[in-house]
Amino acid sequence: MKRFITICAIAVFSTSSALAGSMKELAHYTEINVGQTKADVAIVMHEPGNRELNGNREAWQYCARDGSVNKFVVVYFVDGQVEKLSTYNKRWLGGCSGQYKPVMWDASPALSTEILTKMPVAAPSPTDALVGQ
């Protein structure tokens, strides 16, 4: 039984270590540039702790503990290339697993640009002025 508990503890520690990097590793996000590929990012940042997909878009999240705070980096990809990066912090609650924020796809600049280019704004008609009267 004692051996089983030791094996479980090692497995949990290994999993949480894989999901949370060091601050030194997390600092490498400054080496990532818009337009780089997922392969380029994987070389610099290694495996993300969280991945989310949405059509041709993907977000990779990384996390590291800094004292009493978890620091997160999010790398957004469109068609396999870096679109943007963002960061956020959360109070440390025992690790990164389960602490990743859901990706807000509607806040992505690519989506806004896509909507604007596909839905041109029509010029107001003379009857539009009468609607408010």
Q: CATH number of the domain at 45, please.
A: 3.30.1450.10
Please check the confidence at residue 35 and state whether its pLDDT lies above 80: yes
Tell me, yes or no, whether 107 lies in a domain: yes
Instruction: Supply the range of the domain harboring residue 95.
Output: 19-117
pLDDT at position 93: 84
Name the pTM for this structure. 0.66
- In the predicted model, what is the mean pLDDT of the chain? 75
Tell me, yes or no, whether 44 lies in a domain: yes
pLDDT tier at 120 (50, 70, 90 boundaries)?
very low
Tell me, yes or no, whether 126 lies in a domain: no
Tell me, yes or no, whether 125 lies in a domain: no
**Per-residue CA distances from 132 to 59, 91, 121, 125, 127 (Å):** 43, 49, 20, 13, 10
Tell me, yes or no, whether 74 lies in a domain: yes
Q: What's the domain count of the chain? A: 1
Q: What is the dihedral of CA 84, 85, 88, 92, to 10 degrees?
A: 140
